[in-house]
Amino acid sequence: MSADPLQVLASAGKGESTRGLLRVIILLLIAAAAIASRLFSVIRFESIIHEFDPWFNFRATKYLVANGFYNFWDWFDDRTWHPLGRVTGGTLYPGLMVTSGIIYHALRALTIPVDIRNICVLLAPACSGLTAVATYLLTNEMTPSPSAGLLAALFMGIAPGYISRSVAGSYDNEAIAIFLLVFTFYLWIKALKQGSMLWGALCALFYGYMVASWGGYAFITCLLPLHAFVLICMGRYSTRLYVSYTTWYALGTLASMQIPFVGFLPVKTSEHMPALGIFGFLQLLAFLDYVRAAMPSRQFQTFLWMFAGGTFGLSLLGLVLATSAGVIAPWGGRFYSLWDTSYAKIHIPIIASVSEHQPTAWPAFFFDLNMLIWLFPVGVYLCFQELADEHVFIVVYAVFGSYFAGVMVRLMLTLTPVVCVAAAIAVSTLLDTYLRAKLPKPEEIQAAEASEGKKGAKSGLKSTSKPVVGVYAIWGKSMMVSALAVYLLIFVLHCTWVTSNAYSSPSVVLASRLPDGSQHIIDDYREAYQWLRQNTREDAKIMSWWDYGYQIGGMADRPTLVDNNTWNNTHIATVGKAMSSSEEVSYPIMRQHEVDYVLVVFGGLLGYSGDDINKFLWMVRIAEGIWPEEISERSFFTPRGEYRVDGEATEAMKNSLMYKMSYYNYNNLFPPGKAMDRMRNSLLPEVGPTLSTLDEAFTSENWIIRIYKVKDLDNLGRDHTSAAAFDRGHKKAKKASKKRGPRRLRVD
Amino acid sequence: MKTSAVFSALVSLLSLASAASSDSNSKSKSSSTSTFTPPQVFKNANLVHVVSVEKNYVKENINVLVENIDKAAQDEYFLPFTADQMSRLGGVEVKDRKDSSAGLFVAEVVEFDQESDIQYLRIRLPKALAPGAQQTLGISYYLLKAYKPLPASIKQEELQYLTYSFSAYLPSAYTTTKQKTEVKFPSGTIPDYTKLPGSGDIQEFPLKQGSKLTYGPFGEKPAGAIEPVTVRFEFNKPVTHVSLLERDIEVSHWGGNVAFEERYTLHHRGANLSSLFNRVKWQQATYYQPTTFALKEMKFPLRVGSEDPYYTDVIGNVSTSRFRSNKREALLEIKPRYPVFGGWKYPFTIGWNSDAKNFLRKTVSGGFVLNVPFLEGPKQPEGVEYEQVQVRVVLPEGAENVKYHTSIPTQSITEGGVEIHRTFLDTIGRTALVIKARNLVDDFRDRELVITYDYPLMAALRKPLIVFGSAVAVFVAAWAVGNLELKFDARKK
Taking only the tens place, the pLDDT of each residue in B355-409 is 999 999 999 888 999 999 999 989 988 899 999 999 999 999 989 899 999 989 8
Cβ pair A530:B278 closer than 8 A: no
Residue A746 has pLDDT above 80, yes or no: no
Cβ A353 vs Cβ A625: under 8 Å: no
d(CA A261, CA A90): 5
Taking only the tens place, the pLDDT of each residue in A77-125 is 888 898 888 988 888 999 999 999 999 999 999 888 899 999 999 999 9
Average pLDDT over residues A503-515: 83
DSSP A100-131: HHHHHHHHHHTT----HHHHHHHHHHHHHHHH
DSSP assignment, residue A258? T
Query: Of A178-182, A347-351, A423-427, A552-556, which range is least confident?
Result: A347-351
Cβ pair B424:A113 closer than 8 A: yes
pLDDT recorded at residue A182: 95
Cβ pair B338:A668 closer than 8 A: no
List of chain B residues whose C-beta atoms are within 8 Å of the C-beta of residue A46: 316-317
Query: Of A190-199, A465-474, A570-579, which range is least confident?
Result: A465-474
Burial (CB count <10 Å: 0-12, 13-18, 19+), residue B177: middle
Asked if the domains B2-234 and B240-461 are classified in one and the same CATH topology, the answer is yes
Residues 6+ apart with CB under 8 A from A602: A611, A612, A613, A661, A662, A663, A666, A703, A704, A705, A706
- Give the minimum alpha-carbon distance from A522 to chain B in angstroms, rounded to a whole number: 9
Higher-pLDDT residue of B112, A494? A494
**Of B53, B16, B20, B51, residue with least CA distance to B36:** B16
CATH architecture of A522-729: 3-Layer(aba) Sandwich (3.40)
Q: What percent of chain A lies above the pLDDT cut of 70?
A: 87
Tell me the CA distances in angstroms from A659 to A613, A624, B171, one per residue in order. Answer: 7, 17, 62
Partner residue opposite B319 with nearest CB, options A111, A523, A534? A523
Cβ pair B346:A534 closer than 8 A: yes
Residues 6+ apart with CB under 8 A from B194: B168, B228, B229, B230, B231
Type and span of the H or E element at B435: strand B430-441
Q: How far does Cα B396 stand from its chain's mean position?
A: 28
Higher-pLDDT residue of A54, B18? A54
Is A355 near chain B, with CB under 8 Å?
Answer: no
Collapsing DSSP to helix, strand or coil, A83 comes out as coil
Average pLDDT over residues A720-731: 77
pLDDT recorded at residue A291: 83
Q: How confident is the model at residue A329 (pLDDT cuts 50, 70, 90)?
A: low
Q: Choose from A267-281, A397-411, A516-530, B458-472 the range with maximum mean pLDDT.
A: B458-472
List of chain A residues whose C-beta atoms are within 8 Å of the C-beta of residue B318: 523, 526
List of chain B residues whose C-beta atoms are within 8 Å of the C-beta of residue A699: 277-279
Average pLDDT over residues A303-317: 83
- Give the minimum alpha-carbon distance from B288 to chain A in angstroms, rounded to a whole number: 15
Residue B308 has pLDDT above 80, yes or no: yes
B261 forms bridges with which residues in the sheet? B248, B351
Residue A444 has pLDDT above 70, yes or no: no
Count of C-beta atoms within a 10 Å radius of residue A478: 12
Taking only the tens place, the pLDDT of each residue in A669-691 is 888 888 888 888 888 888 888 88
Residues 6+ apart with CB under 8 A from A581: A589, A630, A631, A656, A657
**Of A187, A232, A238, residue with least CA distance to A209:** A187
CATH class for domain B240-461? mainly beta
What mean pLDDT is reported for chain A? 85
d(CA B223, CA B79): 11
- Give the minimum alpha-carbon distance from B456 to chain A in angstroms, rounded to a whole number: 22
Q: Which residue of A has its CA nearest to B313?
A: A530
Is A523 near chain B, with CB under 8 Å?
Answer: yes
Cβ pair B423:A700 closer than 8 A: no
The amino acid at A38: R
DSSP A341-374: TTHHHHH-HHHHTSGGGSPPPHHHHHHHHTTHHH
Q: How confident is the model at residue B207 (pLDDT cuts 50, 70, 90)?
A: confident
pLDDT recorded at residue A126: 94
d(CA B360, CA B97): 35
Residue-range domain boundaries for chain A: 522-729
The amino acid at B39: P
d(CA B64, CA B62): 6
Residue B471 has pLDDT above 90, yes or no: yes
3-state secondary structure B22-59: CCCCCCCCCCCCCCCCCCCCEEEEEEEEEEECCCCCEE
B336 prior amide bond cis, ω within 30:
no
CATH architecture of B2-234: Sandwich (2.60)
Q: How confident is the model at residue B344 (pLDDT cuts 50, 70, 90)?
A: very high
Partner residue opposite A527 with nearest CB, options B317, B338, B345? B338
Pairing mode, if any, of strands A595-601 and A541-543?
A: parallel
pLDDT recorded at residue A737: 46
Higher-pLDDT residue of A488, A7? A488
Residue B14 has pLDDT above 50, yes or no: no
pLDDT recorded at residue A323: 75
- The dihedrals phi and psi of A354, each to the nearest 5 degrees, come to -85, 125
pLDDT recorded at residue B29: 36
Average pLDDT over residues B235-239: 91
- Give the minimum alpha-carbon distance from B487 to chain A in angstroms, rounded to a whole number: 13
Residue A309 has pLDDT above 60, yes or no: yes
pLDDT recorded at residue A11: 57
Residue A185 has pLDDT above 50, yes or no: yes
Is B338 near chain A, with CB under 8 Å?
Answer: yes
pLDDT recorded at residue A438: 63
Cβ B175 vs Cβ B223: under 8 Å: yes
Cβ pair A526:B316 closer than 8 A: yes
Rounded to 5°, angle at Cα B319 from B314 and B323 = 115
Partner residue opposite A534 with nearest CB, options B276, B319, B347? B347
pLDDT recorded at residue A443: 63
DSSP B267-332: EE-SPEESS---HHHHHHHHHH----SSB--EEEEEPTTEEEEEEEETTEE---EEEEESSS-EEE
Is A670 near chain B, with CB under 8 Å?
Answer: no
Count of C-beta atoms within a 10 Å radius of residue A520: 13
pLDDT recorded at residue A157: 93
Q: How confident is the model at residue A720 (pLDDT cuts 50, 70, 90)?
A: confident
Q: Which residue of B has its CA nearest to A552?
A: B315
Residue B166 has pLDDT above 80, yes or no: yes
Average pLDDT over residues A479-485: 91
Residue A331 has pLDDT above 70, yes or no: no
pLDDT recorded at residue B15: 44
Residue A261 has pLDDT above 60, yes or no: yes
Q: A460: alpha, beta or left, given left = phi > 0 and alpha = psi -120 to 50?
A: left
**Of A35, A40, A168, A31, residue with least CA distance to A500:** A40
Cβ pair B276:A535 closer than 8 A: no
Residue-range domain boundaries for chain B: 2-234, 240-461
List of chain A residues whose C-beta atoms are within 8 Å of the C-beta of residue B423: 111, 113
d(CA A283, CA A541): 56
Q: How confident is the model at residue B118 (pLDDT cuts 50, 70, 90)?
A: confident
Is B414 near chain A, with CB under 8 Å?
Answer: no
Q: How far does Cα B263 stand from its chain's mean position?
A: 16
Average pLDDT over residues A264-288: 86
Partner residue opposite A699 with nearest CB, options B279, B315, B317? B279
